[in-house]
Amino acid sequence: MMRTGFFLALLFVCCQAGLRAQQYAYRVSFTDKNTTTHTLTNPIAYLSQRAIDRRTADGIAIDSTDLPVPDAYVQGVLTASSGILHTKSRWFNHIVILVSDQADIIPVQSLPYVSGTLQVGDFAVNLHNREAPQPVSNPDKYSLPTEGLPLPATMARSTGSPAYYGNTWDQTDMVKGDYLHDQGFKGAGILIAVLDDGYAAVPTHPGLDSLRSENRIWETHNFVLDTPYIYSIPSNHGTSVLGTMAANVPGTYVGAAPHAYYALYITENLTSEKPVEMEQVLAATERADSIGADVISISGGYNTFDNPYPDLTSADLNGNSTIAAQAASMATAKGILFVATAGNEGGGGLLTPGDADSALTIGAVLPNGNAWNSSSHGPNGAGHVKPDVVTLGAPAAVLSSTAYITGNGTSYSTPQIAGWAACLRQAKPNATPRMIRAAIDSSAHVHTAPEVQRGFGIPNFQLAADMLSVPFVISRMSDWASVAPNPTGNDINLFTNLSLSDDVACTITDVSGRVVTRLTAKADSGVRKTTISLPGNTAPGIYFLKVISGSREATIKIVKDK
């Protein structure tokens, strides 16, 4: 992930000078889980009811990888090393500990239940217990939810127009995301976990006022410092990322999933680049699974590390070798859609976990749809297409610490797709992550001939929804325009109900977005019929009628059956 800068790193270290003490991070892997006190028959002890329900709905069995690491093994390692527990992984049956001397790991290596150790980091400053709790407007939560997520309060309906979306119209229109909003799918009831480096302005930014007032920040945790308090880290990269999904100020800035719930996690250490950060990604991913998250969005990734840790080679970025890529694959297997940045390395290669085969990996394009030169691309080390899809990232509309700005990067294109995917999940709750990913990939504009830089291309979420057989609900969009009969033949009967006479502009497109025909007619007040004739060679299939009259707008799905 890009650094905030040398000054920030220096400031952060100097502020902690009184706590300076060398630490080394080691991954300690175990041979088994034989002494665990947990069972597969009582998963509520280590998974939330929401997580269990998600598994049940998707037909995913709870298995031994879900069982927590045995407490006896953890305590044995901490006693032998005089170390501090940093992270745990139930999926891969290991922990990461912090010790003050490299020699402290030697006694651990001889424990009968330890299969191996690996140094993954070193620090000149203690990582844990640096921060006192900071008061915030929306208190942090770090407990397993046992009930479903409540729906947010009713908010203003979208109109699918530039005036409604404000700054985000270009990035919304590029992927036809307003189609999902216009049907009422804005992420309500969906839980998105965001993995990033800092969220300092989240408690105060006006674009996130509804997120705060409706208590839709489900929980927070800093996996670098092992504290639930995240807002004192002096970075707003995570704020900008979150805003592309969660912000909701009609007329100024509307994100992709403004009604969703969010878990905010810090996994990136601003002062160094060590392999332990991939362990923090794994820990946050497992935590997201345990609380029942539906989507994970990560805008950071790794391919180079500080000395003495070796950089990752292209062969390492083969989709399943790094622990971060393995985390993405396991999350997918557990029923979570894992959305990852491709990176900003251009032709220099992908970042992990964006190399993961199971990740929906996102690149960035310019407003004209051409590839942004700095957007990383593959294929990955196994020869698979990466990125999967692309969207507007140079520039993207984002949040600053107090206002609305633009920024460049796959960091900002990635959460946009994650947010729209969450809306798809709401629209089709029984769709698995692989189904959602397949629909997004297949809806993209060059999916039949994927490209090196843009992968399958720019997705069309209107088409993706249709591929998933999302029902079209006109009552959620408009009560002033309808088509009858529907299915229809070559002549389409549009019925409008206007309070005043006005022009009605009609555009019919096919599922690829190609305009089939246009018509502008005068419609009197009250219920009036306008007939729109399709060209004689129009094939049977699904079409979309967009109707605009004054400030009103509606989109109607039409089935031509003959």
- Domain locations in the chain as residue ranges: 17-125, 167-467, 474-560
Taking the C-alpha atoms of residue 337 and residue 265, their distance in angstroms, rounded to an integer, is: 17
Judge whether 167-467 and 474-560 match in fold. Answer: no
Rg, the chain, Cα only: 25
- Whether 271 has a pLDDT exceeding 50, the answer reads yes
- Whether 158 has a pLDDT exceeding 60, the answer reads no
Q: Which of 132-136, 153-157, 432-436, 556-560 reaches the highest mean pLDDT?
A: 432-436
What was the pLDDT predicted at 310?
A: 97
- Residue 128's nearest CA partner among 46, 224, 212 is 224
Hey, what are 338's tokens?
A: 């894992």
Determine what percent of the chain is predicted with pLDDT higher than 90: 76
The single-letter code of the amino acid at 449 is A
Q: What distance, in Å, lies between the first and last C-alpha atoms of the chain?
A: 54
Hey, what are 17's tokens?
A: 């000078």
Residue with tokens 């770090």: 142
What was the pLDDT predicted at 184?
A: 85
Alpha carbon 135 to its chain's center: 27
pLDDT band at 161 (very low <50, low <70, confident <90, very high): confident
Hey, what are 123's tokens?
A: 């620090």
User: Backbone phi, then psi, for 9, in 5-degree steps?
Assistant: -60, -45
Taking the C-alpha atoms of residue 78 and residue 387, their distance in angstroms, rounded to an integer, is: 41
What fold characterizes domain 167-467?
Rossmann fold (3.40.50)
- Whether 140 has a pLDDT exceeding 50, the answer reads no
- Whether 10 has a pLDDT exceeding 60, the answer reads no
Taking the C-alpha atoms of residue 380 and residue 321, their distance in angstroms, rounded to an integer, is: 11
Which residue pairs, CB below 8 angstroms and at least 24 apart, start in 61-68? 64/33, 64/40, 65/90, 65/91, 65/92, 65/330, 66/40, 66/90, 66/91, 67/33, 67/36, 67/38, 67/39, 67/40, 68/36, 68/38
The single-letter code of the amino acid at 75 is Q
What was the pLDDT predicted at 7?
A: 32
Taking the C-alpha atoms of residue 467 and residue 392, their distance in angstroms, rounded to an integer, is: 23
What was the pLDDT predicted at 471?
A: 72
What was the pLDDT predicted at 526?
A: 67
Taking the C-alpha atoms of residue 53 and residue 33, their distance in angstroms, rounded to an integer, is: 25
What would the DSSP string read from start to end of 447-480? Answer: TTS-BTTTBT-S--HHHHHHHTTPPP-GGGT-SS
Quick: pLDDT tens for 403-430: 999 999 999 999 999 999 999 999 999 9
- Architecture of the structural domain at 474-560: Sandwich (2.60)
Quick: pLDDT tens for 188-199: 999 999 999 999
Exposed / middle / buried, residue 307 (Cβ in 10 Å: 0-12, 13-18, 19+)? exposed
Mean pLDDT of all residues belonging to the chain: 90
Quick: pLDDT tens for 230-267: 999 999 999 999 999 999 999 999 999 999 999 999 99
3-state secondary structure of 223: coil
Q: Which residues on adjacent β-strands are paired with residue 263? A: 193, 219
pLDDT band at 479 (very low <50, low <70, confident <90, very high): low
Burial per residue of 143-172, b for 16 or more beta-carbon CB atoms within 10 angstroms, e otherwise? ebbeeebeebeeeeebbbeeebbbbbbebb
The single-letter code of the amino acid at 389 is V
Taking the C-alpha atoms of residue 286 and residue 334, their distance in angstroms, rounded to an integer, is: 10
Q: pTM higher than 0.75, yes or no?
A: yes
Please state, in angstroms and as integers, the Cα–Cα distance from residue 519 to each residue in 272, 339, 442, 503, following that order: 60, 40, 30, 10
- Whether 3 has a pLDDT exceeding 80, the answer reads no
Query: Residues 393, 367: contact at Cβ < 8 Å?
Result: no
Q: Are strands 481-483 and 396-399 parallel, antiparallel or unpaired?
A: unpaired
- Whether 210 has a pLDDT exceeding 50, the answer reads yes
Helix (H), strand (E), coil (C) string for 374-410: CCCCCCCCCCCCCCCEEEECCCEEEECCCCEEEECCH
Distinct helix (H) and strand (E) counts, the chain: 14, 22
143-147, 375-379, 493-497: lowest mean pLDDT where? 143-147
Query: Residues 339, 417: contact at Cβ < 8 Å?
Result: yes
Quick: pLDDT tens for 351-404: 999 999 999 999 999 999 999 999 999 999 999 999 999 999 999 999 999 999
Quick: pLDDT tens for 448-474: 999 999 999 999 998 999 899 887 654
- Whether 142 has a pLDDT exceeding 60, the answer reads no
Residue with tokens 């650094």: 3
